[in-house]
Structure 1
Amino acid sequence: MTNITLAITGSISAYKAADITSALGKLGHQVTVLMTDAAQAFITPLTLQVLSKRPVHTDVMAEDKADSVNHIDLAKETEIFLVAPASADTIARLAQGRADDIVSAVALALPQDVKKIIAPAMNTNMYENPLTQRNIQTLLDLGFKSIEPKIALLACGDVGRGALADVTDIVQFVQEICSDSKA
């Protein structure tokens, strides 16, 4: 069993995180869910809590125990850090080393050996914007892996690259990372 932290960010495809959580859980992984405020506009924490059978973390300032720091403890428990969907905003926050929400704070506190993955999902123009591409490249240079978004009809009506990769592809990618870690 691998301890996977799934970070869900503000994208219309956030609802697919329910399927990712469920699939990873069925494979025997322990899934801990983090959600940005924007993600909660698309899917509720309760949905992810039921599927993961674990508390969902939404607030970097929420400290459940007086003798520990929540985002540090979450980072220490993480073996694979998966951001799916990864919005342009969160990608920028991660690339800048910010720590002002639960997702970016846990990411910044991760031990260096933790496997880190982003699965971008956004409008084509946002994805292809040189700033977003620079931020993705920064993360790749820092050791993150990226699951390429697919070309599709997007929620906004545009057609182009930016749709979240298929859930099965994301789960398979994570499984491959798990296998590589144990080899």
Structure 2
Amino acid sequence: MKNIILGVTGSVAAYKAADIANNLTKKGYNVEVIMTGSAREFITPLTFQSLTKNKVYYDMFEEITPKDIKHISLARKADLCLIAPASANIIGKLANGIADDMLSTVVMAMNNVPVYICPAMNTNMYINPIVQRNIKTLAEFGYHFIEPRESVLACGDLGTGALADVDKIVNTVEAHQWRA
């Protein structure tokens, strides 16, 4: 069974991450969810725990024991990391090597694990040159992006920034060339 880390960040699209977790779990993947504090403002950990049958992680200091430092053990067991939705905040943290929460710390601790990032934010945020530079930086480091789509956004604006369709995200994960 392949292990997927699903990172959920602060975006109104966080509710769609529940569909992603549910679809991947039903397809036989072991999905471990890591939520940022902002994500927990939009959707509860209990939703993901119910769908994946796994504990949901968000406090990087909760699970430290001499034999299991959770951000390291999660990073080691991951076959793939999917961040959906990915806020401008998490993209900026990763592009600049900032590891100050459970999700960014786990991603920084990963070695040779493919990371797929699904941006979701307001159009003006998405096209901001700083965000675009951070995306370019991560792409140069080998991170993969599942581009947002154009839609009427939660704020009422029409533009690019809506989370990619759930089916597209799940199909991209399934099409990944898994290591043996």
Provide the TM-score with structure 2 as the length reference: 0.97
In the alignment, what sits opposite 2:90?
90
Query: Counterparts of 1:7 and 1:107 in 2: how far apart (Å)?
Result: 9
User: 2:34 is matched by which residue type in structure 1?
Assistant: L
Letter aligned with residue 55 of structure 2: P
Amino acid at match of 1:57: Y
Match in the other structure for 2:122: 123
Q: Secondary structure at the match of 1:62?
A: coil
1:65 Cα deviation from its structure 2 partner: 3.5
Distance 1:104 1:165 in 2: 22
Identity percentage over the alignment? Answer: 51
The 5 A counterparts of 1:18-33 are 18-33=18-33
Output the amino acid matched with 1:148. Answer: E
Structure 1 residues without counterparts, runs of 5 or longer: none
Secondary structure of 1:5's match? Answer: strand
| Paired position in structure 2 for 1:3 | 3
Q: Aligned letter for 2:100?
A: D
TM-score between the two structures when normalised by the length of structure 1: 0.96
Letter in structure 1 aligned against 2:83: V
AA at the equivalent of 2:169 = I
Q: Which position in structure 1 is the counterpart of 2:149?
A: 150
1:56 matches 2:59? no
Question: Which structure 2 segments of 5+ residues have no match?
Answer: none
Match of 1:67 in 2: 67
- 2:162 aligned with 1:163: yes
Task: Please provide the CA RMSD for this pair.
Answer: 1.0
Q: CA deviation at 1:130?
A: 0.4
Instruction: State the aligned residue count.
Output: 180
Structure 1 or 2: larger helix share?
A: 1
Q: Which amino acid aligns with 1:160?
A: G
